[in-house]
Chains A and B, each alone.
Chain A
Amino acid sequence: MAFGSLRRIERFGWASSKLEQRGRSIVRRLSTFTEVDESKKNSSHQETGKSNKSVNLFSAINQALHIALETDPRSYVFGEDVGFGGVFRCTSGLSDRFGKRRVFNTPLCEQGIVGFAIGLAAMGNRAIAEIQFADYIFPAFDQIVNEAAKFRYRSGNQFNCGGLTIRAPYGAVGHGGHYHSQSPEAFFCHVPGIKVVIPRSPQQAKGLLLSSIRDPNPVVFFEPKWLYRLAVEEVPDKDYMLPLSEAEVIREGSDITLVGWGAQLSIMEQACFDAEKDGISCELIDLKTLIPWDKETVEASVNKTGRLLVSHEAPITGGFGAEIAASIVERCFLRLEAPVARVCGLDTPFPLVFEPHYMPTKNKILDAIKSTVKY
């Protein structure tokens, strides 16, 4: 919304030096893009397709939304305050450019927002709904789980809401407290019929969001709000997509495989650097899509290293790390040289005053790396 402005985000705590570590060092690596057919492009926005600019994560999301609306006249963006740019500025400029009929504010009613989006998508449109914080997605949980995910199946493929994408900022920010910090991804990973995607950086965010919007299945897209302003990297101006359900090895190593997603990757990467000083070579994998997930890439890596560590901010019990651990133990049992390590959030509500205790910090990861390698 108009008052969101940069000010909001700064006061949100992004400027503190401790937080800066997050995101700054995030892996800047160009991955393989699916380029969108150049001949179909006509706007000035895309003619500059060759240039890359350094942008932060919220701007990358904003670019993706511009492109999505521009390339498909049947796409819509809506949610609480998105007409004013959204609390994190992800939707700024969209309603001015595409009009209030395609980019609009909704009342404060998450269940209604998602139900409405499912109906809109069922008519063959791309419905891009924003839930202001992932913590507020639960009023819409029923719509996502019972309506969106099963629409295609239960109608014998007559109907679907494949054009549905739900965007929501997730995760810790340093002091967000109980209801501005949670990582609810695991709840949605228990639901066949939807995809769950989480980007780690601006470049990833743009390409993965465009893929999610254009994917013929409903997608829940969680954005690491800690990185909205902190993570800056070169992002191609052009329209590009990154494949869903394909994990990426972002750092090669031989002693242990680390798997994570979103904001947690930069913390894990720091642990990899520190482990290296102790002579431990870590391989780091960004899962990117949580369901359906790329077991093969993880399996191949664990077959090489013989060890696995998974890390996420969500509480450890029932987290998606548990699923990864179980699947990999099943596939790589004889190759494993140590139990799968999980460094995750604690089994407590997300705390206001004890956030550093709760979080899967670099030191916790480093310790787990060492004990797994020494096992």
Chain B
Amino acid sequence: MAQLTHRTSSLLKPLSFALSSTRHLSSTTPITVETSLPFTGHNIEPPSRSVETTPQELIKFFRDMALMRRMEIASDSLYKAKLIRGFCHLYDGQEAVAVGMESAITRKDCIITAYRDHCLFLGRGGTLVEAFAELMGRKEGCSKGKGGSMHFYKKEGGFYGGHGIVGAQVPLGCGLAFAQKYSKDENVTFAMYGDGAANQGQLFEALNMAALWDLPAILVCENNHYGMGTAEWRAAKSPAYYKRGDYVPGLKVDGMDAFAVKQACKFAKEHALKNGPIILEMDTYRYHGHSMSDPGSTYRTRDEISGVRQERDPVERIRKLVLAHDLATEKELKDTEKEIRKEVDDAIAKAKESPLPDPSELFTNIYVKGYGVESYGADRKELRAVLP
């Protein structure tokens, strides 16, 4: 929580102008918004399209998503400048999933995901500095610089990370959910995976266990319609991922609409605590290529990408709602974006100051006590071992 306060406090800025101006809504006055599309259910009655929110939440959604968007654009530049090495997968386009989900749950609920993890980490209370430092392999990073882009974690935030092997995190999510159920603490786990990952055998093993033992596990398929360069329909006989649990109920959600995501996650949490697992298929889109080596334009048309940007962009959707409810002016939102830019730049500058991890870190965290091995000398070719 502590990490979030920084962001929450700067968030109050746009809010205070919203309140000090002539506008009549107080920050907590309920507003009802309609989701863009109805939900489609599989073996379950879907929730209503009307979602309760507040001016405060609307502005927060805008700010959080704009911040995520900016972070990913900045990561792209850092990668091109070779400050980020290794593999890097960006989340821009999918922000509504992270933000909507977070608004419906608590930090006691767990989230576990694959390698496209930067924004989920921010949502769980991670800071920009921790994120950028991790991306650049620095000591201040959320995994001490040892994980990199694909391996963000945040224990206090209930964020179980950041996994590299496609599909492998989903059974882990069931294990988390079992532990939650056993301790009767009324929390749930969101196990996230992609449309490509949905074809891994592990998914079905996980589903069966979750259903067999009525685990409070919510399987979230972030369907961005491509697994690397492969369109969903080329890899899946049925790309209706919300139905693929067969005996497990499912819900198809517009993943570009943060309020639809919020409604679905709230619904799923209640369902899971009472009845066991449910699948949420989030219909979403990634603007960037799969990873930094993929220009992202050879297996889909530029029209497709610009069409999504124009018609379904998650940040623009919220901007429109904020303006429609007269919660801020266009200029105020632009100013917020400027502030965000600065916040991101400052975080990058700070992350750059962080040193690389100490070379001895190469040998720590392998076992509890480590080998007690150190390397030194040119090329680190000398090893010194001390019994742990």
Contact = CB atoms under 8 A, between A and B. Distances in A.
B380 interface: yes
B228 A80 contact: yes
Interface string B128-169: 000000000100000001111011000000000000111100
Contact of B148 (A2, A7, A138, A177): A177
A180 interface: yes
B298 A356 contact: no
A19 to B, nearest CB: 13
Interface stretch (B21-29, B275-283, B301-309, B355-363): B355-363
A3 B295 contact: yes
Contacts of A354: 359, 361-362
B175 interface: no
Given A11-B292, A108-B227, A354-B359, A364 B379 contact: yes
A74 to B, nearest CB: 25
Most A Cβ at <10 Å: residue of B85, B151, B292:
B85
Interface string A116-143: 0000000000000000000110110000
Contacts of B165: 135-136, 138-139, 179
B86 interface: yes
Interface of B, helix, strand, loop or mixed by DSSP: loop
Interface stretch (B54-62, B195-203, B322-330): B195-203
Given A108-B200, A179-B150, A347-B371, A363 B379 contact: yes
Interface stretch (B229-237, B255-263, B344-352): B229-237
A105 B200 contact: no
B293 interface: yes
B137 A105 contact: no
Given A1-B299, A105-B235, A178 B293 contact: no
Contacts of A253: none
Contacts of A5: 298
Contact of A178 (B164, B227, B362, B373): B164
A347 B385 CA distance: 12
A97 interface: no
A2 B299 contact: yes
Contacts of B199: 107-109
B270 interface: no
A361 B357 CA distance: 21
B366 A348 contact: yes
Contacts of B295: 3, 7
A30 B66 CA distance: 59
B293 A7 contact: yes
B375 interface: yes
A323 interface: no
Interface string A163-203: 00000000000111111100000000000000000000000
A176 B356 CA distance: 17
A240 interface: no
Given A3-B295, A353-B137, A108 B235 contact: yes
A180 B87 contact: yes
Nearest to B290: A3
A168 to B, nearest CB: 14
Nearest to B168: A139
Nearest to A179: B164
Contacts of B293: 3, 7-9, 11-12
A222 interface: no
A46 B359 CA distance: 53
A109 B196 CA distance: 9
A81 interface: yes
A349 B364 CA distance: 10
A357 B235 contact: no
A171 to B, nearest CB: 15
B41 interface: no
Given A109-B200, A353-B145, A175 B362 contact: no
A297 interface: no
Nearest to B296: A3
B362 A348 contact: yes
B359 to A, nearest CB: 6
A108 B196 contact: yes
Contacts of A4: 229
B235 A358 contact: no
A352 interface: yes
Interface in B66-97: 85-87
B201 A112 contact: yes
B228 A81 contact: yes
Nearest to A343: B381
Contact of A351 (B87, B197, B362): B362
Contact of B356 (A2, A9, A180, A353): A353
Contacts of B298: 1-3, 5
Nearest to B380: A357
A111 interface: yes
A367 interface: yes
Nearest to B196: A108
Contact of A1 (B202, B228, B361, B366): B228
Given A1-B299, A2-B299, A175 B86 contact: yes
B335 interface: no
B294 interface: yes
B2 interface: no
A96 B295 CA distance: 23
A353 to B, nearest CB: 4
Given A354-B359, A363-B381, A177 B234 contact: no
Contact of A364 (B146, B164, B299, B381): B381
A8 B294 contact: yes
Most A Cβ at <10 Å: residue of B196, B289, B361, B380:
B380
Contacts of B294: 3, 8
A84 interface: yes
B240 to A, nearest CB: 15
Contacts of B227: 108
7 contacts: A2-B298, A3-B299, A108-B235, A109-B200, A179-B87, A179-B165, A346-B363
Given A7-B295, A107-B199, A107-B235, 10 more contacts: A1-B229, A1-B230, A3-B294, A12-B293, A80-B228, A107-B236, A139-B201, A177-B85, A352-B148, A367-B381
Interface of A: 1-5, 7-9, 11-13, 80-81, 84, 87, 105-109, 111-112, 135-136, 138-139, 174-180, 346-349, 351-354, 356-358, 361, 363-364, 367
Interface of B: 85-87, 137, 145-148, 150-151, 164-167, 196-197, 199-202, 227-230, 234-236, 289-290, 292-299, 356-357, 359, 361-363, 366, 371, 373, 375, 378-381, 383
